[in-house]
Amino acid sequence: MDPICWKVNSVIDAHTHYRGREPMAHYFENFAIANHARGVILTWRGNVVETGEGDSAYRFLREFKEGHPGRFYIFGGLAHDPRQVAKGDGRNLAPQVADLIAHGFDGIKMMEGSPYFKKELPHPLDHEYYWPFWDAAEALAMPITMHLANPMDCWWTDAQREVYRDAEPQEEYFRQAEAVLAAHPRLRITFAHFMFLAPQLDRLDRLFSTYPELRVDLAMGQEFVYYLSDDVGRSRNFFIKWADRILYGTDVSDTNSVRLARAKADTVRAFLEDDGPFASPYALALDKPEMKGSNDRSELQGLHLPIETLQKILRGNVETWLGATPRPLPIL
């Protein structure tokens, strides 16, 4: 299988994962097949659930930055003390921002906006528990990538109803995020997966207009590609208008097969670069050629974006957000 060869070279993937569940060589095979020159690895430190990766975040940081200098931006996570969570006292979160910076992390990955962690972290994002963290992150200009909510149909289908029975509606997560942004307008935050706002472009347009440091990435799942294919002219104009605020991402992981990693990147690139309809490479890689989105669309549409827009989305915006080169490791 040959690496992807599209219109822009030296692409930076703003949303990848290395969880240490497969050999590092497999991650690099996936990285190479997608033809990515640099990448952002989103990991955890002190995760609220026992995934096995929280304690490894520092090891991943050193392995990637020492072994591949200048190539990877590494994001860590927050450590939540269950006793402090129970008290609603998040003062222990604020010092962690400076600590992550001091150790060489380039940003913070947050799953705190995901319905999956409602039981472990019951406080809404605009609760006083999080205030010390938001204050510190804004003051130190710390980049954040947050998974907020989930696609709206996750609250509709029978298959997901049991999973989401205790979760707030999607709209409540958007309310919380907007409350945080209103109180911290200089927060340097990227919402993953297009913020699940593809069906609400007017809303995302308003958020971009109001908060100059707000960004979204294009990491798969591909729910947003289906919605944005409904009106390709409107979507294309939106991407050109907000070309500085949209980051290319794939969600490629060391746990993906090479075929799936290639398909994730192919889907996003085809959506950005192709002119006309195309079948989802992601669906084909899952052996589901007739896969439909929640809007009942199966055929996707390429935006055929101008080269200057592609260069920003596929590379330049990450460098603007995180710096032209990753943060160096401190001298120990």
Burial of 271: CB neighbours in 10 Å, binned 0-12, 13-18, 19+: buried
* Euclidean distance between CA atoms 242 and 238, whole angstroms: 6
Percentage of the residues of the chain whose pLDDT score is greater than 70: 90
Residues of the chain with pLDDT under 70: 1-5, 45-56, 154-166, 289, 332
pLDDT at residue 48 in the model = 45
pLDDT at residue 24 in the model = 87
H or E, element range at 161: helix 158-161
pLDDT at residue 199 in the model = 94
| Residue 294 DSSP class | T
Question: Strand 36-42 and strand 72-76: pairing?
Answer: parallel
pLDDT at residue 224 in the model = 93
Burial of 278: CB neighbours in 10 Å, binned 0-12, 13-18, 19+: middle
Domains of the chain: 11-322 (3.20.20.140)
pTM for the model stands at 0.93
pLDDT at residue 107 in the model = 96
Token output for 203:
């809303």
Nearest to 253, CA basis, from 65, 67, 20: 20
Q: What does the pLDDT look like over 241-286, one tens digit per residue?
A: 999 999 999 999 988 999 999 999 999 999 999 999 998 887 778 7
